[in-house]
Structure 1
Amino acid sequence: MVYAPLYIAGPIISFNAFASQLDSPQNIYSSRDIAWYGFRWVFCLSLMEVMTQFFYYNAFAISGLWKQLSPMDIFIIGYGVSSALNMLWFS
């Protein structure tokens, strides 16, 4: 969730790495791995819901108050707006 280009482009691998995965794909997952993946998914979904409910990123972007903020605050708001829009698009 931290690396924003993955939202747009997806994971990038070389052709040789892709071709080697076609020859011998990984298809054995332990139940612990699946449970851990499910926990992370639920956690990320919950975090997104909390952030969209309590942090009004779009209100900052639309109101023009961002002109009075520091560059770090503008970066955080911009990242929040782009993350919220990407998650809404994925829904």
Structure 2
Amino acid sequence: MSNKRKQIESQRLAIANRWYWRWLPNRNWQAIMFVGFGTAAMILLVSWARGLPSDLNIRAAVVAILWLLFTALVYARDRALAQLSR
């Protein structure tokens, strides 16, 4: 039974170490991204509903891009610090 357990554990670790699992944001970062996209979506909806100029649509895109960049930078920093602390 011990060998089977080790085999299952090694398979689990192999799955956990795939790149798309290692870089998947946790719940905190998902919440931050949700707020950023929500802000951009609200700007878009208000600008379309009120018939405002299209430059607000560009502003919404900029808000989303800046928010994602900020999130990615902070997340990458946290990942690097976690790697150093091991």
TM-score range, shorter chain: 0.3 to 0.5
TM-score by length of 2: 0.34
The structure with the largest alpha-carbon Rg is 2
TM-score by length of 1: 0.32
- Structure with the higher helix share, 1 or 2: 2
